[in-house]
Structure 1
């Protein structure tokens, strides 16, 4: 028996191109009679010469009925508008190249930089940073492999740096601008070099710290293990240069102690908790500190968030739940409005009834502002200090194939009172005297001698 091979499958477009056409009449023969063409006027006869069967006209597909259907398949990260034929057949490659105008022009513009073998990683990183700068968002940024590795280690409680916790100086009586040393990690390179709380960093590697952003300074202090860094330190009236080698160390996010107010019956024992960052150990460390302070019959708490630049968003939510048994913690918003609502349900509450004071300053940022805003708007705490940093955006960090990372702003947030604090900050209930100390020992000294700090200890926990 004879078998016939199956005809190869072909797309409709391919079939249209390969469909055989009728043969033309051989030479010397008469063509078939003319066919009337109602769409074309050729004279009084109403006929046209025969040129084979007329081509079938394409009828454009109607646009989808819903806006969601129209956007499906056409949504693009490019700032170009949707093509005018959205919802119809896809463009041919040449038309698509014309449509995606800005993105391809940007790609052609960066190609000489990114592909030149002489520039290498430095050139490609510079090109990426230049493109990200057009977004006008300082928090959407490229993280080089070492910085990305350090960031991931920091959120896990380990850092590679010199062991300094920094903040903004008090700037009293025209003191030199720079970055204030809040604390030095025990046994770290900075402590071994004699750098203490209250010292001021004037320069980092010959770069002035006068107007340096705290995020920029933190990036500069971190780096590869064993690498050197040169700091210009102001200690009292003495200025000195210190060369330190970066080391890997574990960061404890919480410091705590008990303070007593002499002669006070109510809230005579106050538990002071200093939270320096929101790494993955933060919520557990706060719970442990509360437990230990309660063993000493503490009746009230002070949560110090000054110069806490933030960290992991989930840890900020968990710490808010420690102090709250109900209420909205934060609204997460995107371009369409509220996307998520985080609330306290009482399941993780540890200390929802004791009086609470929160201390903030302009170094309080990100997750710290979420926590401070939640406690303030829910009337759970009295907030003292100055307006906070004003970082009302949330980033997601993506790992890239070459070991670097990309931090991208994905949402913004609003406090429970629906306040957008971006570039504004959380406004405290009461100002804090500029002379108020930033360490736990100084805080306890102020409680023992309130007049020296212009503090009314008797009304510390009173809202108005």
Structure 2
């Protein structure tokens, strides 16, 4: 099972942190529940800083080798090395055949562990337990009937965003591969309190898999740059590059080695969502940089940074960030883009999950890329990750909002892959703005319905910065 963190409105278009598909019996037991919980901790507990991997409907690849890989010496025999419970790779054990009953029960376990009731309908755990008994006493004759049973089960939650994905629908998420080489990374706590970045998902026959990267590998370096202390999102950014170029990643297989340096050819699937231009204003005495962001995919942050720098070099004294009709995308991409405009330590967004340990205050950790005033264009189709960016700039007095009230999609979904390549989208949390406004169902009210004068924008941002926050 893999889990992908998502946020979007009416159609599934975004995802994030994965969890490995467990080598478990066809019917789920205690170990399977452990996997679902571990995956969710990675999704919400790691500041949402994970990449996305999507595979074909076929099963995930667990092992591969490459003649071009150069193995280093394994640790000396005297060094005690213990594999983590969740990272042991069974090289010889075949992947179990998924039963119809097992797939339905797997979906039940995921919802039981991670679903957040957002108030649309009261979710009673005792009623959900009764559904498990129905599964155990049922004989499900076909895969299509299993999928229908999952659909009915999820519909009973009353949450329009918690739903079933066919194998074909799940596989179409490939454009959100954050790395560009077909791997999904996740931050995993180490024995010494450190954080390791590991491969917990592989695109079957993708570039990394073909080159010899394995499920469970720890990433040690990218193009000679040590990644110790870096987040999974940062490591994914280091791996990214122009299509069909090569990146060298140093990996450690499992906890006990060996270590290999592997050359992988990038094969990006995502297309740039950024359009930009420079426009003269005030009779040509000043210029404004216009940035149109269509969605938050794997290339959004990198391409937006390039566009912002170019516009700044061309003399832009104001920026317009057009988020109209942008329904969302990768949550982490939205967060990282918001950070580009904020001062270090300023809050991007708060996340709230089913369990208190999932509550996060996500803050900017660097200086802003630009300090010029920003006008954010929004409408009623501005949703999800777009609302994260809009509210972050607005509440931190970095931008004014112009247009119509936003959609009001403040929920976070995770997409879990089931054993047959299908998936379930489950609401696992929600986010609130830096000023503690609940986005979901409310949206964000803009400052102006129509485009204001440039002087009005500067004055409003100046006044905003003197007001108490929250």
TM-score, normalised to structure 1's length? 0.50
Equivalent residue number for residue 154 of structure 2:
132
- Native 8 Å contact 2:175 2:269 kept in 1: no
Equivalent residue number for residue 277 of structure 2:
257
Mapped to 1, the partners of 2:284 and 2:275 lie a distance apart of 25
How far residue 106 of structure 1 moved from its aligned partner, in angstroms, is 3.3
1:150 paired residue among 169, 172, 188: 172
RMSD, aligned α-carbons: 2.9
- 1:423-442 pair list within 5 angstroms: 423-432=441-450
1:412 paired residue among 400, 422, 430: 430
1:302 aligns with 2:320: yes
1:141 aligns with 2:163: yes
Equivalent residue number for residue 311 of structure 1:
329
Larger radius of gyration: 1
Q: List runs of 5+ in structure 2 lacking aligned partners.
A: 1-111, 114-122, 181-267, 464-470
- Native 8 Å contact 2:174 2:269 kept in 1: no
- Native 8 Å contact 2:354 2:428 kept in 1: no
What SS is found at the alignment partner of 2:349?
A: strand
- Give CA deviations for 1:380-428 in whole Å, capped at 9, x if unaligned: 1011111111111111111211111222111111100111111111111
Distance 1:104 1:344, change over 3 A: closer
> Number of aligned pairs?
253
What SS is found at the alignment partner of 1:389?
A: coil
Mapped to 2, the partners of 1:357 and 1:261 lie a distance apart of 14
What SS is found at the alignment partner of 2:381?
A: coil
How far residue 153 of structure 1 moved from its aligned partner, in angstroms, is 2.4
Q: List runs of 5+ in structure 1 lacking aligned partners.
A: 1-75, 82-98, 159-247, 433-453
- Native 8 Å contact 2:151 2:163 kept in 1: yes
- Give CA deviations for 1:347-405 in whole Å, capped at 9, x if unaligned: 5x311x10111011111111111111111111110111111111111111112111112
1:106 paired residue among 101, 124, 134: 134
- Native 8 Å contact 2:177 2:269 kept in 1: no
1:271 aligns with 2:280: no
- 1:3-402 pair list within 5 angstroms: 79-80=124-125, 102-107=130-135, 111=138, 115-116=140-141, 120-154=142-176, 156=178, 250-263=270-283, 265=285, 268-326=286-344, 327-335=346-354, 339-347=359-367, 349-351=368-370, 353-402=371-420
- Give CA deviations for 1:300-326 in whole Å, capped at 9, x if unaligned: 100011111111111111111101113
Mapped to 1, the partners of 2:158 and 2:132 lie a distance apart of 21
What SS is found at the alignment partner of 1:315?
A: helix
Mapped to 2, the partners of 1:157 and 1:343 lie a distance apart of 23
- Native 8 Å contact 2:296 2:328 kept in 1: yes
Distance 1:80 1:281, change over 3 A: closer
How far residue 249 of structure 1 moved from its aligned partner, in angstroms, is 7.0
- Native 8 Å contact 1:157 1:281 kept in 2: no
Mapped to 1, the partners of 2:364 and 2:161 lie a distance apart of 28
Equivalent residue number for residue 216 of structure 1:
none
- Native 8 Å contact 2:297 2:333 kept in 1: yes
- Native 8 Å contact 2:403 2:448 kept in 1: yes
Q: Which has the higher contact order (CA 8 A, sep 6+)?
A: 2
Mapped to 1, the partners of 2:154 and 2:128 lie a distance apart of 19
Distance 1:314 1:298, change over 3 A: same
- Native 8 Å contact 2:276 2:307 kept in 1: yes
- Native 8 Å contact 1:280 1:312 kept in 2: yes
- Native 8 Å contact 1:323 1:350 kept in 2: yes
Mapped to 1, the partners of 2:355 and 2:287 lie a distance apart of 48
